[in-house]
Amino acid sequence: MNAHAYPIELAFPDIAVHERSDTGVAYVHTFDSGIAGPHVMINALTHGNEVCGAIVVDALLRAKLLPKRGKLTLAFANVDAYARFDPSKPDAARFVDQDFNRVWTAQTLDNAALDSSELRRARAMRPVIDSVDLLLDLHSMHEKSKPLIVAGPLDKGIALAEQLGTPATVICDEGHPEGRRMRDYEGFGDPRSAKNALLIECGQHWETASVSVARGVTARFLLLAGVVDEADLPDGWLMPLPYEMLIVRVTEPVVAKSLDFRFADDYTGLEVFPDAGSVIAWSEGEVVRTPYPDCMLVMPSLRQLRAGVTVVRLGRIEQRRAQPQ
């Protein structure tokens, strides 16, 4: 597996200036236009070492971008993990106590017997998130891979991804056995609710290109939601749409049983295996094979390897959709 260190090409912004907020929640800023429209949230730092989203939110706050319609929330999530970032151990700043993106059920958040740095932060942010109609959660990936949209398991998520139009690969999945993601929380994950959310994996954590993806996606999301006009956006943020979108349905996760897990090759993501039964890994000495033809690997990585962690998801290409140009 790709275990070498990726170069850190990005400067991490000093976000301390954004701590104080009128919402009463540190590092979470909501701006109300006073005109009817959706409440849109752009969220960064769900994981403390995923800096491209922080660069985008920092830039929008410094530019004093205000909504023309509806409300706009700009947020930094796991700021405690971000503050711990150490270039010599860059993967360690993903979280402090537990993955912030695995705690998003009402049952978990309401359970006073449970405590962690991430749960305390999620509980603080929860009242704001409960009022959000459209969420864009900006992430990046352990390995150097093409960017993708994580649309969740519902048709409404896929439809929103198609309307957004970029990145080119849309992943439809149920999430992780470890716990629920923010993008699936309450109304976002309820087919009866008009609320909707997308999670964007913008590229490898520290590569310059991930920032361009994050800027372009954020710009298009804000325009799609109707809270700003194109003239309000920073210059150069909008990027051309990809020629084609792939809709990929995750059929199953591959979950490590222990530290005894290894891949058959140096996979980074979106590899497609033409033949069913292709060997992709070994788990405690047992062969892991592709279950069907044209199986795609979604975000394979061993950088957070431990028992119970999803190390890769297996996906079936459901649709190829040409984009209007």
For 40-61, write each residue's pLDDT tens digit.
999 999 999 999 999 999 999 9
Please write the tens of the pLDDT for every residue from 296-308.
999 899 988 999 8
- 198 with 150: CB under 8 angstroms? yes
* Parent domain of 112: 16-244
DSSP strand pairing (196-204 vs 148-150): antiparallel
Please give the pLDDT value at position 1.
Answer: 41
Give me the helices (H) in 17-111, please.
51-62, 79-83, 106-110
> Does 283 share its domain with 237?
no
Residue 325: which pLDDT band, with cuts at 50, 70 and 90? low
* Structural domain includes residue 203: yes
Residue position matching structure tokens 């998520």: 157
> Does 117 share its domain with 262?
no
Query: Where is the domain boundary, 214, 244, 274?
Result: 244
* Structural domain includes residue 1: no
Please give the pLDDT value at position 85.
Answer: 95
Distance CA 174, CA 169 (A): 16
Average pLDDT value for the chain: 95
Neighbours of 253 (CB within 10 A): 18
Residues in the chain: 325
* Structural domain includes residue 36: yes
Number of folded domains in the chain? 2
Nearest to 198 by CA among 186, 188, 190, 213: 188
> Does 104 share its domain with 33?
yes
* Structural domain includes residue 8: no
Query: Where is the domain boundary, 244, 264, 298?
Result: 244
Please write the tens of the pLDDT for every residue from 122-157.
999 999 999 999 999 999 998 899 999 999 999 999
> Does 132 share its domain with 199?
yes
What is the secondary structure of 129-191 as a DSSP string? Answer: HHT-SEEEEEEEESS----EEE--SSHHHHHHHHHH--SSEEEE---BTTB--GGGSGGGG-T
> Does 201 share its domain with 100?
yes
> Does 223 share its domain with 305?
no
> Does 156 share its domain with 304?
no
pLDDT beyond 80 at 323: no
* Structural domain includes residue 10: no
> Does 47 share its domain with 190?
yes
